[in-house]
């Protein structure tokens, strides 16, 4: 069987409520998964990272046991993803037995093979990032990633023989120059490799909220535990899904966790005889006044409120359209309102409204019969182009390409002036134009479905066409799909105008 397309997001620390940054990566994964499903087998995994000191501290501060705390919060995360129309195939929690079993089995397998050994860890630890730091890496005595205080640790710990994999990692980076993207992150990781890698402490004894070390003291380090979610969810070592979906097609992450996913993760996989993922894509941050948006900085934006205000699909559109994927982009409500009113309200929403209103007025809402026109020819390759951009993770380019069709349809109305054609009784020309508008809108609904699934469905309904549930994209984006005689059903505005409230 052909290999399925597997896309993953990081599993999120459940140290509090989710913010829009968490929704971001998951929405991107959803766009990829929805597109991949059109052409074949796809599997999309997200979930929650529930062990570790950070989560335990958050639970303690709330006066709850860590397990209680996680159980209460997980539904909130699932609610968020549902609100944003995210359709994952699996949601993994690291406190589930199916995951804990795998983590312990991997640990034992590595220990038996000599890749895990007992040693002494002396150094610093950042709870915020759940990261061990040697003295030499600290910046003014603080965590080099988040700038927070670090704690001194001195314990007997289990170590993973990461250093052993340095040469293989170097070779892998050399032979697969595209396996980590964007390029800046690839280069940064190669530079770290050049500095050399130390073995990694993978257990903690001064602390208990984690998966117990099998036949040993302490708990397994939260990152060692968390990374394995990507294969525990597939049923490692012998689940059918593992053979269908591993190695992953794309692992999406934020750039702050690239080191874990591109240096430690492949070495762990190789140690147990599995392949590295095809691609790790480390995207940029949503920032507020130049700072990464996050709970701890107190600048996080509530995604539940945003969906209420702008609509989930409009937010999905904004997140993928505003900046090239990979770069940071600064969050601002003005920008959302602007994109909403201009791209969505004026360009797309009005196109649907005007087209269906004219069809109603001139042809009783029935799609006329017509031959292929200029738009059909000009956009014959659009479906292929858009899909190509999506799989290259160039979401902005994909949306811009789709907007070329939106613009062309709006222009053709202005140029061919249907109201004049009607007045002058130029019936064949009017039919041709109205058909082009309906068919063009049908294409738009198909192409936009991965980005704005709910609004795309509203377009379908107004066009009076059934959703192409079993149709592959290639078939659907072919001219002539809307049948003459289809009864359209104009409805509410797709994107009612918004005013900026300050
Ligand atoms: N639990 C670890 C990941 C383990 S994966 C095996 C973790 N969790 S996290 O809750 O901090 O979430 C990190 C991810 O959330 C980022 O890598 C990114 O995908 C997303 N984002 C969190 N804040 C974000 C922004 N401000 N902007 C963009 N993405 C953001 O790290």
- For the chain, give the mean pLDDT: 94
Is the CB of 12 within 6 Å of ligand 1?
yes
Ligand 1 pocket test, pick from 11, 12, 16 with the greatest ligand atom count within 8 Å of Cβ, gives 12
pLDDT band, very low/low/confident/very high, at 1 (cuts 50, 70, 90): very low
| Inter-CA distances, 228 with 10, 104, 118, 158, 278, Å | 11, 10, 21, 17, 16
Lowest mean pLDDT among 190-204, 352-366, 475-489: 475-489
Q: Is 479 helix (H, G, I), strand (E, B) or coil?
A: coil
Which protein residue's CA is at the shortest distance from atom 6 of ligand 1?
A: 227
Which protein residue's CA is at the shortest distance from atom 22 of ligand 1?
A: 21
Indicate if the pLDDT at residue 299 is higher than 60: yes
Is the CB of 13 within 6 Å of ligand 1?
yes
Indicate if the pLDDT at residue 471 is higher than 80: no
Q: How far is the CA of 151 from the centre of ligand 1 (A)?
A: 22
Ligand 1 pocket test, pick from 11, 13, 18, 21 with the greatest ligand atom count within 8 Å of Cβ, gives 21
pLDDT band, very low/low/confident/very high, at 502 (cuts 50, 70, 90): low
Q: How far is the CA of 261 from the centre of ligand 1 (A)?
A: 12
% of residues, the chain, pLDDT over 90:
86
Lowest mean pLDDT among 6-15, 135-144, 476-485: 476-485
Indicate if the pLDDT at residue 372 is higher than 80: no
Is the CB of 232 within 6 Å of ligand 1?
no
> Structural domains in the chain?
5-283 (3.40.50.620), 333-476 (1.10.730.10)
How many Cβ atoms from other residues are within 10 Å of residue 255's Cβ?
Answer: 18
Which protein residue's CA is at the shortest distance from atom 18 of ligand 1?
A: 254
Residues with Cβ within 8 Å of residue 308, at least 6 apart in sequence = none
Q: How far is the CA of 256 from the centre of ligand 1 (A)?
A: 8
**Residue range 363-370: mean pLDDT, rounded:** 95
Q: How far is the CA of 13 from the centre of ligand 1 (A)?
A: 8
Lowest mean pLDDT among 16-20, 158-162, 190-194: 16-20
Q: How far is the CA of 281 from the centre of ligand 1 (A)?
A: 13
Residues with Cβ within 8 Å of residue 191, at least 6 apart in sequence = none
**Residue range 285-295: mean pLDDT, rounded:** 85
Q: How far is the CA of 136 from the centre of ligand 1 (A)?
A: 26
Is the CB of 294 within 6 Å of ligand 1?
yes
Indicate if the pLDDT at residue 409 is higher than 90: yes
Indicate if the pLDDT at residue 45 is higher than 80: yes
Is the CB of 25 within 6 Å of ligand 1?
yes
Q: Where are the alpha helices (DSSP H) in 45-138?
A: 53-61, 66-83, 97-113
% of residues, the chain, pLDDT over 70:
97
Lowest mean pLDDT among 111-120, 297-306, 307-316, 336-345: 297-306
Is the CB of 293 within 6 Å of ligand 1?
yes
**Residue range 251-267: mean pLDDT, rounded:** 97
CA distance 436 to 160: 62
Three-point CA angle 413, 414, 418, nearest 5°? 50
User: Best-predicted range by mean pLDDT among 12-21, 252-261, 288-297?
Assistant: 252-261
Indicate if the pLDDT at residue 469 is higher than 80: no
What pLDDT digit, counting tens, does each position of 53-92 carry?
Answer: 999 999 999 999 999 999 999 999 999 999 999 999 999 9
- Three-class SS string for 81-96? HHHCCCCCCEEEECCC
**Residue range 277-291: mean pLDDT, rounded:** 93
CA distance 413 to 430: 10
Indicate if the pLDDT at residue 233 is higher than 90: yes
pTM comes to 0.96
**Residue range 345-349: mean pLDDT, rounded:** 98
What DSSP letter does each residue of 220-234 carry, written as one string? E-HHHHHHTHHHHTT
Strands 291-292 and 286-288 turn out to be antiparallel
Is the CB of 253 within 6 Å of ligand 1?
yes
**Residue range 120-128: mean pLDDT, rounded:** 92
Q: How far is the CA of 500 from the centre of ligand 1 (A)?
A: 29
With contact defined as beta carbons under 8 Å apart, do 79 and 213 qualify?
A: no
Ligand 1 pocket test, pick from 15, 95, 228, 257 with the greatest ligand atom count within 8 Å of Cβ, gives 257
Q: How far is the CA of 287 from the centre of ligand 1 (A)?
A: 13
Is the CB of 18 within 6 Å of ligand 1?
no
Q: How far is the CA of 131 from the centre of ligand 1 (A)?
A: 14
pLDDT of residue 114: 97
Total number of residues shown for the chain: 502
Indicate if the pLDDT at residue 317 is higher than 70: yes
Q: How far is the CA of 265 from the centre of ligand 1 (A)?
A: 16
Which protein residue's CA is at the shortest distance from atom 20 of ligand 1?
A: 22
Indicate if the pLDDT at residue 470 is higher than 70: no
Query: Residue written as tokens 């929405």?
Result: 27
CA distance 36 to 186: 25
């Amino acid at each position: 069987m052909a290999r399925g397309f597997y896309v993953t997001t990081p599993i999120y620390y459940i140290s509090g409520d989710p913010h829009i940054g968490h929704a971001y990566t998951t929405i991107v994964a959803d766009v990829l998964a929805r597109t991949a499903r059109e052409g074949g087998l796809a599997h999309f995994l997200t979930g929650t990272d529930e062990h570790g000191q950070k989560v335990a501290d958050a639970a303690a501060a709330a006066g709850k046991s860590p397990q209680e705390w996680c159980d209460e919060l997980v539904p909130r995360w699932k609610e968020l993803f549902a609100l944003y129309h995210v359709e994952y195939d699996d949601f993994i929690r690291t406190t589930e037995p199916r995951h804990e079993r795998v983590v312990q089995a991997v640990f034992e397998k590595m220990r038996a093979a000599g890749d895990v050994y007992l040693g002494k860890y002396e150094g610093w630890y950042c709870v915020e990032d759940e990261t061990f730091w040697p003295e030499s890496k600290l910046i003014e005595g603080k965590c080099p990633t988040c700038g927070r205080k670090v704690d001194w640790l001195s314990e007997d710990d289990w170590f993973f023989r990461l250093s052993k994999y340095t040469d293989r990692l170097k070779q892998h980076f050399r032979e697969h120059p595209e396996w980590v993207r964007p390029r800046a992150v690839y280069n940064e990781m190669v530079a770290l490799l050049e500095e050399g890698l130390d073995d990694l402490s993978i257990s903690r004894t001064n602390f208990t909220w984690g998966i117990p070390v099998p036949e040993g003291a302490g708990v397994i380090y939260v990152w060692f535990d968390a990374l394995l979610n990507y294969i525990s969810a597939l049923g490692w070592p012998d689940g059918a899904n593992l053979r269908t979906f591993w190695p992953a097609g794309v692992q999406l992450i934020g750039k702050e966790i690239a080191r874990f996913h591109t240096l430690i993760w492949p070495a762990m996989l190789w140690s147990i005889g599995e392949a590295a993922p095809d691609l790790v894509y480390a995207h940029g941050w949503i920032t507020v006044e130049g700072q990464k948006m996050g709970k701890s900085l107190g600048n996080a934006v509530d995604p539940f409120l945003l969906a209420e205000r702008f609509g989930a699909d409009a937010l999905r559109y904004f997140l993928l359209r505003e900046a090239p994927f990979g770069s940071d982009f600064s969050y601002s409500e003005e920008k959302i309102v602007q994109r909403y009113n201009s791209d969505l309200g004026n360009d797309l929403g009005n196109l649907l409204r005007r087209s269906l209103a004219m069809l109603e007025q001139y042809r009783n809402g029935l799609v006329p019969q017509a031959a292929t026109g200029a738009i059909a020819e000009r956009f014959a390759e659009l479906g292929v182009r858009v899909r190509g951009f999506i799989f290259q993770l160039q979401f902005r380019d994909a949306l811009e390409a789709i907007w070329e069709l939106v613009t062309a349809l709006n222009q053709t109305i202005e140029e061919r002036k249907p109201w004049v054609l009607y007045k002058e009784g130029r019936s064949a020309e009017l039919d041709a134009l109205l058909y082009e508008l309906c068919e063009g809108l049908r294409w738009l609904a198909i192409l936009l479905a991965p980005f704005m699934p709910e609004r795309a469905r509203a377009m379908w309904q107004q066009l009076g066409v059934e959703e192409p549930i079993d149709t592959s994209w290639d078939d659907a984006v072919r001219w002539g799909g809307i049948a003459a005689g289809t009864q359209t059903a104009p409805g509410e505005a797709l994107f009612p105008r918004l005013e900026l409230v300050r």
